[in-house]
Structure 1
Amino acid sequence: MQLGSVPNVNLNFDRKNLSDSTLLRLYESLLVPRRIEEKMLILLRQGRISKWFSGWGQEAISIGAVEALKADEFILPMHRNLGIFTGRKIPLERLFAQFQGKKSGFTKGRDRSFHFGSIEHHIVGMISHLGPQLAIADGIALANRLSKEEKVTLVFSGDGASSEGDFHEGLNVAAVWKLPVIFVIEHNGYGLSTPSEEQFAFKNFTDKGLGYGIEAVRVEGNNVLDVYQTIVELSEDIRKNPRPILVEAMTFRMRGHEEASGTKYVPKQLMEDWAKLDPVENYEAYLESIGVLDEKTKSRINTKIKKAINDGLELAFAEEQITPQIDEEIQDVYFPFEQKIISPQSEKTTEKRLVDAISDGLRQSMEKYPNLVLMGQDIGEYGGVFKVTEGFKPTFGADRVRNTPLCESAIIGAGLGLSIKGFKAMVEMQFADFVSVGFNQIVNNLAKIHYRWGQNADVVVRMPTGAGMAAGPFHSQSNEAWFFHTPGLKIVYPSNPYDAKGLLNAAIEDPNPYLYFEHKGLYRSISDSIPDEYYTVEVGKAKLAATGDQVSVVTYGMGVHWAKKAVEEMGISADILDLRTLLPWDKEAVRETVKKTGKVIFLQEDCITGGIGAEICAWISEHCFEYLDAPVMREGSLDTPVPFAPNLERAFLPVDRFKEKLQLLVEY
């Protein structure tokens, strides 16, 4: 059945060996989202709800899928999958409260419509960017495999969303790792108003399976029996023989992308032809034709559904509008966690470079947490490009030390999927610069998921960063400020081996998402005697790297070493405050050093404009003005990309400019 052609009016229902009770269960399940839609469209016209994303005409796909899977198998739905939520028996009053932005909704009014999940119901909600869902499904399926659970994960995508890179990455990772995921593509002909022929140049998604090395099947998406029986058969198979399968469900969207957009862009004849294939009306007629459904039963089911809808709406509308509680809003950004500092019990230490300290901490965390999984490019046999994980694969096994394809977005998303199943994940960016490819997963999934619906993201992303090695614009960037602006993340940046091990262990302990920056230029250039045992360093606590009374230098990472060298060469008595944690940063420590010296300069390797120093200097000016004896100053790298030639790179970095400005500050 091609979307542009006149569809076959006969949906060819075949009950096979399904019982009458199963057929009626599917009918009632199919009817619920349709009746809800009918009610929501009335409420929308009345102005009692603000927006609606319709799945009218596509209900059979959701119902066939949700009824086919076991109740404890995860489903990751999209805009048009109301039937997944009703099929998992989510209380309608909570569902309607979610639609209305009420406190008892799943997001406490913080997100809209279907942008939520419920672990209790084994549903992981979407974000507006669509494609990232596929990678999360990969992570859930990976967790099932690692736990030896014979379970299937099912994730939806629209044909429009398939144009995103996340679609390719999600399928590719599932294929390479043989993950038991069913990728259901709702092929409804349009991405908002853009028809399929302007989205892709192939006819059917079943053609794509071969390219990924996975099976692909096509179903009549408006035929609930076809969808249900296909998903049952496939899921039973891949529970025993894990692998991904692509299911293309041919269907049509009978209403607008959302109600405000309308359907004027759809040819009238095409709309009329597809209306003849309405999944609810056709299935109802089929059940009547074989004597399974009569008027009495139909009336009873409809009465039951309408009462449940009206009762749920009455409860949801009766709930008061949200009264904002600022403390609660801020508190819910992070999963509740109170760090307990772990000090080493033995005094035994070993001289270690920064790279060795990171490796040591990671190894001990792997021993401490059997549910910790490492993922990254070349981290297996090769040990990573900086050899942090060298020897890990023989010790911990290929399941826990996983080489990945070159797909940062999918691997970060898979880390979130692992977290949803109770695992911990560490994702290594080969270079911090490459995180740009996974930016969306970090700032819109990892960072926001707890605030949105209470799910934590137990993921640490390691970020080899920094310049000074003549590596050019794409292997030298300092990009911590990209994430510093994003609530929900925690960011640590050690400057020495002791902190490197202790902060990494602390980040892995904490069930919140972390970015862990490690400067490549410090890997093998500094060393220190650090405890052999496992220990942690307090997150959010700065530390003085040097003390003095003339001036305060607030900095982090490589800046600590530049500052120490500068004040020594210049004979200046300075407090050098190493922030260590960038988010949340230690305001009290900054206040104390400013109060002590009255003069402060912020030093960062990152470009000067819009860096972390700008925020902290602004805070000092606002909150510490009465202690200041000079203007608050800052210095950073030039506002250019990082150049390759050594002389150009030296001019780019702030070392010499910092010394000049430091002298000005002391003499002020």
Structure 2
Amino acid sequence: METLNYDKKSLSNEVLLDLYKKLLKPRMIEEKMLILIRQGKVSKWFSGIGQEAIAVGVTSVLENDEYILPMHRNLGVFTSRNIPLHRLFSQWQGKANGFTKGRDRSFHFGTQEYKIIGMISHLGPQLGIADGIALAHKLRKENKITAVFTGEGATSEGDFHEALNVASVWDLPVMFIIENNGYGLSTPTNEQYRCENLADRGAGYGMESYIIDGNNILEVYNKLNELAISMRENPRPVLIEMKTFRMRGHEEASGTKYIPQELFDMWKVKDPVENYKEYLLENGILTTELDEAFRAEIKNEIDTDWQKVQEEPAIEASLEEELNDVYKPYTFEDYKPSETKENIRFIDAISQSLKQSMEKYPNMVIMGQDIAEYGGAFKITQGFVEEFGKERVRNTPICESIIVSTAMGLSINKYKAVVEMQFADFVSTGFNPIVNLLAKSHYRWLEHADVVVRMPCGGGTQAGPFHSQTNEAWFTKTPGLKVVYPAFPYDAKGLLNTAINDPNPVIYFEHKALYRSIQQEVPVDYYTIPFGKAAMIKEGNDVTVISFGAGVHWAMEILSNHPEISADLIDLRSLQPLDYETIFASVKKTGKVIILQEDTMFGGIASDLSATIMETCFESLDAPVKRVASLESPIPFMKNLEDQYLPKARFEKELLVLLDY
């Protein structure tokens, strides 16, 4: 029977038997699940049969307080961390005693209690989370490693390459585990990559790598244990390719007809559970009686816990709970401004906020391209390295996606992270982890994302289509994100302080054209401004003018040219949440509304705000709500084209038309 070469080295019989029990448990659970799925009692199942030695081996060499980030075929991670089976069953059945309150399925969850961080379906971001977790350990000088799983299919994702590169450049103690089971969903490896071994890619990142027989529990355990000890003493990333095979479909509904039968026949004789059992029996370490006792014990636990979950009621939908869990509850901390003020620019206010927040939070890290010695593209972090050091003010490679995921990892491991996008336009390459990871984590499994993404944005500087967008609508649409967009230095400092205090993910827009053109008296000390509170810039009775960012200054200029117009001018400041109370009160007073945004019209926040005003204040309106925005085109480079694109000139005309309605 034995087709694998086992070498127990100096492992005791106790350890050898413990590994067997850990292998046997997920196999028996899976066999139960395959029966239940045929009976229609389980809706979906991703089988790890044939791959148990990898999950069990990796988990067994980690200390219980070291994080592990599995995939959907790693049941052995969860059972080896001794999560009670009834909680796993509840998770799979979508019941309240699971980990996601019925909001996500199978293994798409994490648990700080067991130091397991589950995947999202986009696969790649979890590699960056591992980088962030490991970075936090390294910053605290803890001799801890982090293990993260991926499949051979996901190694084609950009996030895989970004994560390995960052881990290598920063010497992060991450154990990158590739489970190479031969197939993506149905795509074989020869259609996915052309290198002979995925481990060979390690050389390209200056990273040591190994190929391990993923079906041989002792080879997995012994090599990884040796590496784990070494990585704790000498922090560095390691790439490990586990050669294995998937004995079931990608998930049960997909079947296996696309896989040649001879592959199943070849790998069946390399079954990691049966081979190891025969080895233990042949060497007198395991007896048939003891094996039967193990199986009886596990079967009893499975049956007992499954029955417990069947008695658990179906989850009840609660509108209040669903909405309340989108964000981590946060009570605004009101730090009052000091009397001492100085006249500073918009850019100085942001720099002051970051500096004072770095002083307030020793666990805060700033990351971005060229932000260290160079001080950032706009010099906002100039001098920070000298004061806070390169560990906390970190230049990053050009890889927005994995840096956002790394920020999430820092948050998971008790840090605050501020990520500077060099330009807001560049966030597109980091879009996935923002909208699918940061935004959804608290709702899915009550894990907050203590991350601020700074977004230098906007036109008026002749920077062209790739450096001038104001793309707030990409994010105001996404539940779970807070979006802030100040127009004045005073607000910029106070709102950024609040964003850093808030444990939820905040997208913080800063208009480049305002950086050095706008000055204001700003308190020198630390203070905060609450989200969801608009500023009334001027008051009047004829019309309500609503804007934010540079648009506020355009509106101020045009209103100053028309002293005959009596207007409420509202600076939204915070776009998510919005201050509907101030908006509705003004609309009911004036009866006319014009909304000015720099973004293009369709799908912008002006459209949503207009619809809400029409629905809520219809009887108070004396005219249709007017929207003014940029042209429906990318933003051009030359000044005359950019001036035509931007809405400033059109705003005056539309305002006068509205007043004459």
Range class of TM-score, shorter chain = over 0.9
CA distance in 2, matches of 1:570, 1:654: 18
Please state whether the residue corresponding to 1:15 is helix, strand or coil. coil
Is 1:623 aligned to 2:642, yes or no? Answer: no
Distance 1:207 1:219, change over 3 A: same
Tell me which of 424, 427, 436 is aligned to 1:444.
Answer: 436
- How much identity, in percent, do the aligned residues show? 59
CA distance in 2, matches of 1:619, 1:311: 52
Which residue number corresponds to residue 261 of structure 1? 254
Which residue number corresponds to residue 226 of structure 2? 233
CA distance in 2, matches of 1:350, 1:195: 64
Tell me which of 277, 288, 293 is aligned to 2:281.
Answer: 288
Tell me which of 140, 145, 149 is aligned to 2:138.
Answer: 145
Q: Say if 1:69 and 1:231, in contact at 8 Å, map to a contact too.
A: no
Which residue number corresponds to residue 265 of structure 2? 272
Distance 1:293 1:649, change over 3 A: same
Which residue number corresponds to residue 635 of structure 1? 628
Q: Say if 1:76 and 1:137, in contact at 8 Å, map to a contact too.
A: yes
Which residue number corresponds to residue 100 of structure 1? 93
Tell me which of 450, 456, 473 is aligned to 1:481.
Answer: 473
Tell me which of 24, 32, 44 is aligned to 1:31.
Answer: 24
Aligned pairs for 1:197-346 (under 5 A) are 197-344=190-337, 346=338
CA distance in 2, matches of 1:312, 1:130: 30
Q: Say if 2:497 and 2:527, in contact at 8 Å, map to a contact too.
A: yes
Tell me which of 538, 546, 550 is aligned to 2:542.
Answer: 550
Please state whether the residue corresponding to 1:469 is helix, strand or coil. coil
Q: Say if 2:599 and 2:629, in contact at 8 Å, map to a contact too.
A: yes
Please state whether the residue corresponding to 2:561 is helix, strand or coil. helix
- 1:205 shift after superposition: 1.4
Tell me which of 15, 18, 31 is aligned to 2:8.
Answer: 15
CA distance in 1, matches of 2:309, 2:558: 64
Q: Deviation per CA, 1:514-549, whole angstroms, max 9, x where unpaired?
A: 000000000000101100000001111111111111
CA distance in 1, matches of 2:352, 2:96: 45
Tell me which of 35, 45, 49 is aligned to 1:52.
Answer: 45
Which residue number corresponds to residue 395 of structure 1? 387
CA distance in 2, matches of 1:137, 1:383: 27
Which residue number corresponds to residue 417 of structure 1? 409
Tell me which of 342, 364, 367 is aligned to 1:350.
Answer: 342
Tell me which of 518, 521, 529 is aligned to 1:529.
Answer: 521
Tell me which of 80, 89, 102 is aligned to 2:82.
Answer: 89
CA distance in 2, matches of 1:398, 1:645: 38
Q: Say if 1:494 and 1:580, in contact at 8 Å, map to a contact too.
A: yes
Aligned pairs for 1:553-564 (under 5 A) are 553-564=545-556
Q: Say if 1:458 and 1:513, in contact at 8 Å, map to a contact too.
A: yes
Which residue number corresponds to residue 183 of structure 1? 176
- 1:9 shift after superposition: 6.7
Tell me which of 192, 203, 228 is aligned to 2:185.
Answer: 192
CA distance in 2, matches of 1:78, 1:485: 29
Which residue number corresponds to residue 540 of structure 1? 532
Q: Say if 1:76 and 1:126, in contact at 8 Å, map to a contact too.
A: yes
Q: Deviation per CA, 1:478-537, whole angstroms, max 9, x where unpaired?
A: 110001110000010000000000000000001110000000000000101100000001
Is 1:123 aligned to 2:116, yes or no? Answer: yes
CA distance in 2, matches of 1:508, 1:405: 23
Q: Say if 2:2 and 2:279, in contact at 8 Å, map to a contact too.
A: no
- 1:570 shift after superposition: 2.6
Q: Say if 1:559 and 1:603, in contact at 8 Å, map to a contact too.
A: yes
- 1:340 shift after superposition: 2.1
Is 1:516 aligned to 2:496, yes or no? Answer: no
CA distance in 1, matches of 2:227, 2:636: 53
Q: Return 562-571 or 291-300, whichever deviates more.
A: 562-571
CA distance in 2, matches of 1:198, 1:650: 49
CA distance in 1, matches of 2:252, 2:172: 37
Q: Say if 2:345 and 2:515, in contact at 8 Å, map to a contact too.
A: yes
TM-score (norm 2): 0.99
Is 1:594 aligned to 2:587, yes or no? Answer: yes
Q: List structure 1 runs of 4+ shifted beyond 3 angstroms.
A: none
Please state whether the residue corresponding to 2:521 is helix, strand or coil. strand
Which residue number corresponds to residue 650 of structure 1? 643
5+ unaligned residues in a row in structure 1: which ranges?
A: 1-7
TM-score (norm 1): 0.98
Which residue number corresponds to residue 381 of structure 1? 373
5+ unaligned residues in a row in structure 2: which ranges?
A: none
CA distance in 1, matches of 2:199, 2:496: 44
- 1:576 shift after superposition: 0.7
CA distance in 1, matches of 2:456, 2:205: 31
Tell me which of 70, 77, 81 is aligned to 1:77.
Answer: 70
- 1:295 shift after superposition: 1.2
Alpha-carbon RMSD across the aligned residues, in angstroms, is 0.8
CA distance in 2, matches of 1:640, 1:487: 27
CA distance in 2, matches of 1:299, 1:246: 38
CA distance in 1, matches of 2:196, 2:49: 24
Please state whether the residue corresponding to 1:243 is helix, strand or coil. coil
Q: Say if 1:353 and 1:528, in contact at 8 Å, map to a contact too.
A: yes
CA distance in 2, matches of 1:662, 1:570: 11
Please state whether the residue corresponding to 1:194 is helix, strand or coil. coil
Q: Deviation per CA, 1:576-615, whole angstroms, max 9, x where unpaired?
A: 1011000011111110110110100111000011000111
CA distance in 1, matches of 2:636, 2:600: 12
CA distance in 2, matches of 1:101, 1:659: 55
Is 1:454 aligned to 2:451, yes or no? Answer: no
CA distance in 2, matches of 1:116, 1:224: 26
CA distance in 1, matches of 2:391, 2:105: 37
What amino acid does structure 2 have at the position aligned with 1:411? I
What amino acid does structure 2 have at the position aligned with 1:222? N
CA distance in 1, matches of 2:77, 2:204: 29
What amino acid does structure 2 have at the position aligned with 1:32? K
Please state whether the residue corresponding to 2:527 is helix, strand or coil. coil
Please state whether the residue corresponding to 1:191 is helix, strand or coil. coil
Q: Say if 2:2 and 2:278, in contact at 8 Å, map to a contact too.
A: no
CA distance in 2, matches of 1:206, 1:130: 19
CA distance in 1, matches of 2:223, 2:9: 12
